[in-house]
Each structure stands twice: as C-alpha cells, then as structure tokens.
Amino acid sequence: MPSANDVRTGQALSLDRGLFQIVEHNHTKPGKGKAFVKMKLRNLDGGGIVERTFRPDEYVERAIIDRREHQFLYKDDMGFHFMDNETYGQIAIQAEDVAEAADYLREGMPALLPMYEGRPIAVDLPPSVELTVTEAEPGVKGDRVSGATKPVTLETGLVIQVPLFVEAGDVLKVDTRTGEYMTRVT
C-alpha cells in the first residue's frame, strides 16, 4: 500500500467512508511541527467533496479503476443502458450514478465507464458533445445588442443559454464540463 505522500491527483482511494478520487494533493512542511498531506477528495459513491489531512507516512489503499469504452443505448425505467464495445454485454446504471451526465447522453454516443470491482461508479463524457436544438424562441429584433442570449431546449431536455441567432433544428457543440454553449455546428 502506498503512503499518503506517494499518491497523486486523479488517483482513486478506498477509504473507510467509501471510494474517493483525489482532486487536490498538497504536501506541507510548516516551520514548526510535523509535515502533513492535505487532500481534497471527491466521493465517487455520493458525489460530494471533502477535505482530509493525512500524515505523510500514513498508508492509504489505492483503488484500481478500470475505464471501459461503452456505447449509450437508451434510457428507461430500469436506468441508463450501455453496451460494452469489447464484449457487447449490456449494463444498466441507475440515474443517481449517471448524475449530470444524463443531460448530455444521446443514443449511440460513446462514453467511458469507470468500473470498480466490476460495477460502474460514474459516466465519463468527452469534453464536448453535439446536440440538436428542439425548442428555441425567436430572437427579438432590436435585442441584438452586445452578446444577448436566449434559452433553448436541447434533444436531451437540457436548457442552455445561446446567442439570439440559434434556431430550432440547429446542432450545437456544448461543453460537458460547464454546460455552456460553444459553437453552432450546422
């Protein structure tokens, strides 16, 4: 097992309160006293972020996360269904495990599923996705001054703010990390 000083940002740890991913890792040696390692950890089971302090020589259990390429198939009352691209096996994931990724999932799109001990713990999306606008109010003439925006509804049900020239039927590139409009594709 590695010590708290040996782990790095992005790695996953299996701690007493669940599975966590290291968001921030700082080793501090104050002028007086002993050194310590302060970490910001994202709970992979529940989603919250916690801060925790460790002694540099304290052992932590590293969790082995296997990321597998899947294809999103469909959503129903059983959850979100994905197909493994290697074995063609299907897996259903509950809505609470999919979390914010549900706003960007379109049938047939690829997604990486981080797996821990054979069960999916989240859905990793690409940095941006292309989604079609289903509902858009027309831009009001005279409202075209310096970057005015309007809300539109995308094919997944997500509502985002876009420039006034965007219309229903347009395909937009949306940033999955921030949920913001990037550009119009067509």
Could you give the CA distance from residue 184 to residue 173 in angstroms, rounded to a whole number? 6
CA 16 to CA 170: how far, in whole Å?
48
Res 96: pLDDT: 78
Which token pair is 150?
A: 């309007």
Instruction: Give the integer Cα–Cα distance in Å for 24 and 58.
Output: 17
Residue 149: strand, helix, or coil: strand
Q: Which of 84, 104, 120 is the last residue of a domain?
A: 120
Q: What is the mean pLDDT of each run of 10 residues along the chain (186 residues)?
A: 84 86 88 89 80 90 89 91 92 83 89 86 86 86 68 92 90 91 88
What CATH number is associated with residue 75? 2.40.50.140
In this prediction, residue 97 carries a pLDDT of 77
The number of distinct structural domains making up the chain is 3
6 domain residue, yes or no:
no
Same domain, yes or no, for 142 and 175? Answer: yes
CB burial of residue 98 (10 Å; 0-12, 13-18, 19+):
buried
SS3 labels along 68-137: EEEEEEEEECCEEEEEECCCCCEEEECHHHHHHHHHCCCCCCEEEEEEECCEECCCECCCEEEEEEEEEC
C-alpha 113 chain-centroid distance = 11
The confidence score (pLDDT) of residue 183 equals: 92
Of 71, 178, 70, give the one whose Cα is nearest residue 128. Answer: 178
How many angstroms separate the Cα of 106 from the Cα of each of 7, 165, 169?
35, 24, 15
Q: Is 11 exposed, middle or buried (0-12, 13-18, 19+ CB in 10 A)?
A: middle
What domain range is 175 assigned to? 128-184
Same domain, 45 and 17: yes
Of the residues 47, 63, 79, the one at which a domain ends: 63
Q: Examine the domain organization and report whether 149 and 170 are in the same domain.
A: yes
